[in-house]
Amino acid sequence: MKSGTLLVIGGARSGKSAYAEQLVAKSGLEQLYLATARAGDAEMEERIAHHRARRGPAWRVLEEPDGLEAALAKNAGAECAILVDCLTLWLSNLMLAGADLTERTERLCRTLAILPGLAVLVSNEVGMGLVPDNRLGRDFRDAQGRLNQAVAATADKVAFVAAGLPFYLKGAP
């Protein structure tokens, strides 16, 4: 896949990020890793370090915890493959900032629809587990489900990753 949008979804530690990284690396295009994480504690710093070590030096990295739409528009190009890792952390950042999630989701989808080059977006599937026991958790789960649905409708392809194996829900591999 040299152009278009691919959404890679799956559960925690399903292999979705590694799969997305492989696709971008194999594209033959310039590799841009658009990171949405904020290292708020030692455990998150460790996770970020693990991802960096796995990717290696071929990747250009841009940290953008909340301005995802503008970063995509500014950096996309026919010779560039952008990996967004991940939409779940981006959504968390927006929720904590009190952003209008509907408006931001719509803006992201409008941006993705006209983006040149290749964009691979990683997102967690959080609706297949237990119902959260608190309001914030339920609100997040619902917002994540709505975000995933909107991005999946916009994307050219959607892959669900479980146990490191991709299953294509939309489009062919």
Return all residues near 169 (Cβ < 8 A) that are at least 6 apart: 152, 158, 159, 160
The catalytic position among 39, 48, 51, 66 is 51
Spatial distance between the Cα atoms of 123 and 146, rounded to a whole number of angstroms: 12
Q: Per the structure block, which two tokens stand in for 56?
A: 């290696």
Query: Do 164 and 19 contact (CB within 8 A), yes or no?
Result: yes
Catalytic annotation on 50? no
Q: How far is CA 93 from the centre of its chain?
A: 13
Tokens 């789960």: give the residue.
Answer: 141
Which amino acid type is present at position 7? Answer: L
Active site residues: 51
